[in-house]
């Protein structure tokens, strides 16, 4: 994500605390619990199982704002389960089955609690199917990062970090449980239904509505799942043998957005020179029109850009930032939200590197300009442990990026390059944390780097 505004966190922090706090009291051993124990957001996601695949069929009617869906979730129990949780904001659950048998479903705050007829054994694979529907709760203005669902007369878009998936489907909503997806969006004729990955087909239903069938073939963190319904200029092409699908809201004037978005392959190819092969089997991007969506977002294979992104002219830095996340964040995902600098610091570094390549300021200038400011707020927030209210603060982005520049100087270009490439290769399609990165940097460079990372990532104050 690249944040258009500063200090959003203070506005949304109280809301973040609401999800299922009371459920932490549950202690019975054969229950999956609310929360995977994230140090910043302990109630996010759920324990007790590991999702392999979501089969989502969602019908959205822009005229009423109503969404109706079925979600077929294939998972494996990581402990004996008498019951388990999924995250779901609002919406009404109609029926739930587990392995084809009707199951009991109750709701507690934003948790859907499912009790199968028979307990599930540890290690057993199971399938739960949930039919649900309603009007997704519209996200308040300036709260895009939490529960991001935006409905307008023109359609809807679901996008937001650290949580947005539960606004439109029942989900284990934490990046540590990545899964494959098949997503079918059914929309009225004339509308597009845009999501992640490959477009496997479009079929017309009996009532004249169209189903768009998307397939995500690399594991995806739930916050990267995209749903956009509206009138879009959809362009399908091919780059390096992989489909490239872009969509630009019809309301956005033809011109700058189209021209900038079309540079996606060029920027992605440049990023391959620092991060290794592009990690997914599709390229793309989407420009949404809803002005409440203020931040660009690295939705997997199809980053979201906003109505404002190219309003004032060309900007390829933002392309570099969101595309860099395809490696740093999407393919290699954070283990916990405390590791957010592994996404944003790396994407910022890649953005600066692209700007240098494109004739903008050099990497050294980006560094020097920030380092020169002794009173900068960058020195107040340690990017390796920013605190949950500061996960999208400037320090996570810029001091995070500066950390990589400083590391590069310390270990040399060749070893630094090896570190980045090994990082994306070793953790591809998985999760990693800051300790993993430090260990890799030490192993590759042959240097003891604890003191270096302590001052850059964990200490307050400007590193000497
Ligand atoms: Zn970002």
The pLDDT-based confidence of 8 (bands split at 50, 70, 90) is very low
Residue 223 Cα to ligand 1 middle (Å): 13
Do 370 and 281 share a structural domain?
Answer: no
316 lies in a domain?
no
CATH of the domain at 297: 2.60.40.1730
Which of 35-39, 171-175, 456-460 is least confident? 35-39
- Same structural domain, 287 and 358: no
Among 309, 329, 348, where does a domain finish?
A: 309
Looking at the structure, tell me whether residues 53 and 155 fall in a common domain: yes
What separation in Å is there between the alpha carbon of 296 and the centre of ligand 1?
8
- CA 282 to ligand 1 center in whole angstroms: 20
Centre of ligand 1 to C-alpha 288, Å, is 17
Q: Domain containing 402 — which CATH number? A: 1.10.390.10
pLDDT tens digits along 388-435: 999 999 999 999 999 999 999 999 999 999 999 999 999 999 999 999
Q: Are residues 376 and 242 in the same domain?
A: no
Cα of 67 from ligand 1 centre, angstroms: 29
How close is the Cα of 341 to the center of ligand 1, in Å? 9
- Rounded-to-integer distance, Cα 159 and Cα 259, Å: 23
Does residue 24 fall inside a structural domain?
no
Mean local confidence (pLDDT), 261-290: 98
- Indicate whether 224 and 361 sit together in one domain: no
320: CA distance to ligand 1 center in Å? 10
Residues 398 and 302 reside in one and the same domain: no
How far is ligand 1, taken at its centre, from the CA of residue 192, in Å? 26
Residue 96 Cα to ligand 1 midpoint, Å, equals: 36
Q: Give the range of the structural domain holding residue 384, as residue numbers without chain letter.
A: 340-458
Number of domains in the chain: 2
Q: How far is the CA of 271 from the centre of ligand 1 (A)?
A: 15
User: Is residue 317 domain-resident?
Assistant: no
354 and 411 belong to one structural domain: yes
Pair 269, 352 in one domain: no
**Band (1; pLDDT cuts 50, 70, 90):** confident
Ligand 1 centre from 51 Cα, in Å? 26
CA of 23 to the centre of ligand 1 (A): 32
Ligand 1 centre distance from Cα of residue 446 (Å): 30
Residue 186 lies in a domain: yes
Q: Which of 264, 292, 309 is a domain's end point?
A: 309
Give the model confidence (pLDDT) of 95-134 as tens digits: 999 999 999 999 998 899 999 999 999 999 999 999 999 9
2 within some domain: no
| Predicted local confidence at residue 15, as pLDDT | 39
Q: Are residues 295 and 348 in the same domain?
A: no
- Position 19 in a domain: no
Instruction: List, in sequence order, every residue forming a beta bridge with 86; answer none if it has no partner.
Output: 112
Q: Label residue 209 by pLDDT band (50, 70, 90).
A: very high
Q: How far is the CA of 299 from the centre of ligand 1 (A)?
A: 10
In a domain? residue 366: yes
Residues 274, 382, single domain; the answer is no
Tell whether 74 is covered by a domain: yes
Could you tell me the distance, in angstroms and rounded to a whole number, from the CA of residue 297 to the centre of ligand 1? 7
Ligand 1 centroid to Cα of residue 325, in Å, is: 7
Å from CA of 123 to ligand 1 middle: 36
How many whole angstroms from 346 Cα to the centroid of ligand 1? 9
CA of 229 to the centre of ligand 1 (A): 23
Residues 387 and 292 in one domain: no
Out of 256, 289, 309, pick the residue that ends a domain. Answer: 309
Tell me: do 272 and 396 sit in the same domain: no
Model confidence at 50: pLDDT above 70: yes
């Amino acid at each position: 994500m690249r944040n258009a505004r500063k200090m959003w966190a203070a506005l949304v922090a109280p809301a973040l605390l609401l999800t299922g706090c009371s459920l932490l009291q549950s202690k019975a051993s054969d229950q999956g619990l609310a929360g995977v124990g994230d140090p910043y957001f302990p109630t996010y996601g759920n324990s007790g199982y590991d999702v392999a695949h979501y089969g989502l069929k969602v019908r959205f009617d822009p005229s009423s704002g109503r969404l109706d869906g079925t979600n077929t979730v294939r998972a494996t129990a990581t402990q004996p389960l008498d019951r388990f949780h999924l995250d779901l904001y609002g919406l009404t659950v109609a029926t739930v089955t587990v392995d084809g048998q009707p199951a009991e479903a109750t709701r507690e705050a934003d948790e859907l609690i499912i009790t199968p007829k028979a307990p599930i054994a540890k290690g057993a694979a199971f399938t739960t199917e949930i039919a649900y529907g309603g009007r997704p709760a519209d996200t308040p203005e300036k709260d895009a990062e939490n529960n991001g669902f935006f409905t307008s007369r023109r359609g809807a878009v679901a996008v937001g970090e650290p949580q947005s998936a539960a606004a439109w489907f029942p989900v284990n909503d934490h990046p540590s449980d990545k899964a494959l997806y098949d997503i079918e969006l059914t929309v009225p004729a004339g509308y597009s239904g845009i999501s992640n990955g490959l477009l496997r087909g479009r079929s017309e239903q009996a009532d004249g509505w169209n189903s768009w069938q998307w397939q995500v073939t690399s594991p995806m963190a739930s916050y990267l799942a995209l749903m956009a319904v509206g009138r879009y200029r959809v362009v399908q092409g091919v780059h390096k043998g992989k489909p490239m699908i872009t969509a630009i809201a019809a309301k956005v004037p033809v011109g700058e957005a189209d021209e900038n978005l079309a540079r996606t392959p060029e920027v992605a190819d440049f990023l391959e020179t620092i991060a290794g092969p592009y990690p997914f089997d599709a390229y793309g991007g989407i420009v949404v029109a809803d002005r409440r969506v203020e931040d660009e977002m690295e939705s997997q294979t199809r980053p979201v850009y906003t109505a404002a992104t190219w309003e004032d002219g060309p900007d390829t830095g933002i392309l570099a930032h969101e595309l860099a996340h395809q490696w740093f964040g999407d393919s290699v995902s954070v283990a916990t939200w405390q590791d957010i600098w592994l996404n944003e610091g790396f994407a910022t570094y890649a953005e600066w590197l692209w700007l240098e390549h494109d004739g903008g300021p050099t990497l050294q200038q980006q560094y020097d300009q920030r380092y020169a400011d002794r009173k900068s707020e960058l020195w107040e927030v340690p990017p390796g442990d920013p605190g949950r209210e500061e996960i999208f603060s400037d320090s996570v982005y810029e001091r995070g990026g500066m950390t990589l520049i400083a590391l590069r100087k310390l270990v040399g270009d060749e070893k630094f390059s090896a570190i980045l490439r090994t990082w994306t290769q070793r953790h591809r399609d998985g999760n990693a944390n800051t300790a993993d990165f430090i260990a890799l940097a030490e192993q590759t460079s042959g240097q003891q780097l604890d003191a270096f990372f302590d001052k850059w990532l964990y200490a307050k104050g400007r590193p000497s």
